[in-house]
Amino acid sequence: MASTKAKGSGSRAVLPPPLLTLLSGDRTLVVGTIHEASGLRALRSGRPSFLRGVDVLEARLDHLEGLELSEISSWPLPVIATARHPAEGGHGALSLECRRSLLGGAMPRVSALDIELRSARVMAPLIAEAHATGRTVILSHHDFSGTPGRAALRNLARRAESEGADLFKIAVTPQDRQALLRITEFQCSPQPVPVVAMGMGEAGRFSRIVLSGFGAPLCYGWLGKPQVSGQWPAALLRGVLDQILPA
């Protein structure tokens, strides 16, 4: 595993593995989202059952701001850090400067950053630093009202690639079968950057399994308490994926 100098320190810190190195196989990875105090407490408790079947953790820094995060260096799994934009479900109406500070502060201890595509231009220096230090960059787009059309989905993927994405994550809200088919086709079809598609809302739980079966490399679930409709408990996802999806 590569190592790098810790900022502001003469010691050397182990560089977490880039998320992309974990995606070399065909197996969908389960991401467990930590977004509130009970999830953080359970993580600190070290209960093995809490992380059973989970491959990667997502730290929702916009929700965790003000909580004790110093133990992130001892988290047992690779971590994706995100501080969500208020217009895409972010908590607390955090300013750009606050979100940039949270992400920058977390970077030495995480494997990936997730930044909204809408913020990629103003976060360009942070994206460049992430790449320069071996982190994976996920650029994301969240649509809580529907599912973009085919041309709009392709345009979003092209924008993500041009702004430096290693992965493009898109979360949509399918309202009917046509919308679910559209996002599934998008997941299946060649794109300029690898895609992680998922659904929210009433069709969310079904869509996440379907999209994993059609190539989504990550499948997100909650740890501690549910966060958004359509998510599975992370502890159940591995078993469901292994039972339903072909080997």
Domain range annotation of the chain? 22-244
AA identity, residue 35: H
Instruction: Give me the pLDDT at residue 226, please.
Output: 78
CATH class of the 22-244 domain in this structure: alpha beta
In terms of Cα–Cα distance, which of 176, 54, 175, 174 is closest to 187?
174
Q: Do 211 and 199 contact (CB within 8 A), yes or no?
A: yes
115-142 mean pLDDT: 97
Cα–Cα dist 202/175, whole Å: 8
Question: What pLDDT, in 10s, does the model give residues 34-49?
Answer: 888 777 777 777 666 7
Ramachandran angles phi, psi of 13, nearest 5° = -115, 140
In terms of Cα–Cα distance, which of 209, 210, 203, 211 is closest to 230?
203
137-144 mean pLDDT: 97
**Helices 150-162 & 177-188 angle (0-180, nearest 10):** 40
Question: What pLDDT, in 10s, does the model give residues 98-110?
Answer: 999 999 988 988 8
Instruction: Give me the pLDDT at residue 221, please.
Output: 92
| Residue 142, token pair as written in the block | 């969240």
Instruction: Give me the pLDDT at residue 10, please.
Output: 37
Residue 3 has pLDDT above 50, yes or no: no
Catalytic residue among 35, 85, 141, 142: 142
Share of the chain above pLDDT 70, in %: 86
Catalytic residue among 5, 7, 169, 225: 169
Task: Determine how many CB atoms are found less than 10 A away from the CB of residue 206.
Answer: 13
Query: Quick check: is 142 catalytic?
Result: yes
pTM of the full structure: 0.88
